[in-house]
Amino acid sequence: MARMICPGLPAGWINAWLAAVGATVLDSRIRLHWTENGTPVAILSAEDIDPLDAVVASWPDAELLTDLPIAEYWKDTGRLGRKVPVADFVARAQTARSHPYSWTLSSTMTDLYVDEKGEVDHAPFDPPAPRGITLHHRLMKVHEQVEPSIERMRDSLEGRAVRVQGNGLGFDHTRLGSQSDDTSPWVDPVVEVLAFFGLAILPMRGDGVDRRRRGVPSARERQRGWLRAPGVGGKGEFMWPAWSQPLDCAGIDALMDAWEPHRKVVWSRAGVHAAWQSVRFEPSGNDVTRAFGAQQL
């Protein structure tokens, strides 16, 4: 198999991990595993094609992204903003059921938890933004900043790309500058777009609770991979592994069920040799910034 080592995609960076997974989502020929010496970085491989060529060939165009089920306006189903009434979500989900990218709804929102206002819950990887800007709007904006080519993709995958000003998807801690000044955020748009497609294996779920009803039990909404340490409350943190065997998207999906983050002694059974958990950015004052760093397990 042809393979490419990607120092621009270290496993300990959430967005890079999602981006590496996203490459396997976009092109089923691509396999992913991670180096085992030093800081693990992604290794993309493929049969009968250079994995870099596969990334370029499968790069989504604006037409595809405009037609995603989470677009603001889509197939006469009404407007989908940041605040989504459950009835609007249901109508959109029913229409999108057979769409190949229906996961863009189920990996960002769930109607298995409805708040007191009758709105569905958003995933941690679908963070709020000023002026009600949606994740789809963020994706389109960052996609505009990429002109796909072998050279451009290689620069990002090898860690040489020049960043552009912007928030990207809105949860990468490396986009942030100093809190002591007005430093603008900067992102690698290639990593951001690929990271969006990595969300395909991280569906959002809930306990089927409607908070509009009196006396309902407390609910636990969650996105796949977001776990709580034993005996610890709260929403938990995202936990993700690095593995040694080349896996396609379906294999990675299965691995996320098979490995046990809190039982390091059995990681090797799933081929896992390193793992991390997210660390939340702590804003000051009225700052609404969301971001996730990483701590190795």
| pTM of model > 0.85 | yes
How far apart (Å, rounded) are the C-alpha atoms in residues 155 and 150? Answer: 9
Burial 129-158 (b: 16+ CB within 10 A, else e): beeeebbbbbbbebbebbebeeebbbbbbb
Tens-binned pLDDT, residue by residue, of the chain (297 aa) = 899 999 999 999 999 999 999 999 999 999 999 999 999 999 999 999 999 999 999 999 999 999 999 999 999 888 999 999 999 999 999 999 999 999 999 999 999 988 889 999 999 999 988 788 999 999 999 999 999 999 999 999 999 999 999 999 999 988 887 666 667 889 999 999 999 999 999 999 887 777 777 666 665 678 999 986 554 455 689 999 999 999 999 999 999 999 999 999 999 999 999 999 999 887 666 666 788 999 999
Token pair recorded at residue 124: 């941690």
